[in-house]
Amino acid sequence: MHSTDKELVLSSTEIHDRIQELGKAIADDYQGKELVVIGVLKGAFVFMADLVRAISIPLSTDFIQVSSYGSGSSSSGEITLVTSPAQAIKEQHILLVEDIVDTGLTMRWLKQHFEKEGAASVRICSLIDKSERREHSITIDYPGFPISEGFLIGYGLDYDEKYRNLPAIYHLNLG
């Protein structure tokens, strides 16, 4: 990849500052409740690590992994559970942490999954909200940044499993 193939969209400082705001809002809303923060692998692992450190109330953490067929630059069709959280979900207050919500398919499936498991509540925090491509209606309770279009990499976001380690978020020119 040449340096001209990617353009900065969100600097690490912008990301850091927004995460502090999200963390504060989450801590205020869940005051006095037992919060279980569940990161959606793999993309959310970087965001999750920074977000939980910005939430000042006690919480527990876990992860879930799903796969959607027809990979490439977006998800499509069917979702399959790859790895379940290790801890019990029933009657817990769940906060799902995702890197990016695009069509909404993955998050809609995950929210329904946790509701079926008997969670007391299920809310969603996503660093990026690509609402223009939304096909499945879903409320993002804690959205980080609205981004209108394009394919993003860095800060956990990948293209073919690469670029997750970039400390900022870039638009990747796939043309």
Task: Give contact residues for ligand IMP (rule: CB under 6 A).
Answer: 43, 74-75, 98-107, 151-152, 157
| CA 9 – CA 6 distance, rounded (Å) | 9
Residue 19 beta carbon to ligand IMP: minimum distance, rounded to whole angstroms:
18
Type and span of the H or E element at 4: none
Query: Which one of 50, 99, 102, 129 is the catalytic residue?
Result: 102
| CA 77 – CA 22 distance, rounded (Å) | 31
CB of 159 closer than 8 Å to CB of 73: yes
Residue 57 beta carbon to ligand IMP: minimum distance, rounded to whole angstroms:
26
CB of 124 closer than 8 Å to CB of 139: yes
> Phi, psi (5° rounding) for residue 15?
-60, -50
129 is catalytic: no
Residue 52 beta carbon to ligand IMP: minimum distance, rounded to whole angstroms:
18
* Comparison of 30 and 153: residue with beta carbon closer to ligand IMP: 153
* Comparison of 64 and 119: residue with beta carbon closer to ligand IMP: 64
* Comparison of 37 and 100: residue with beta carbon closer to ligand IMP: 100
Q: Which residues are catalytic?
A: 102
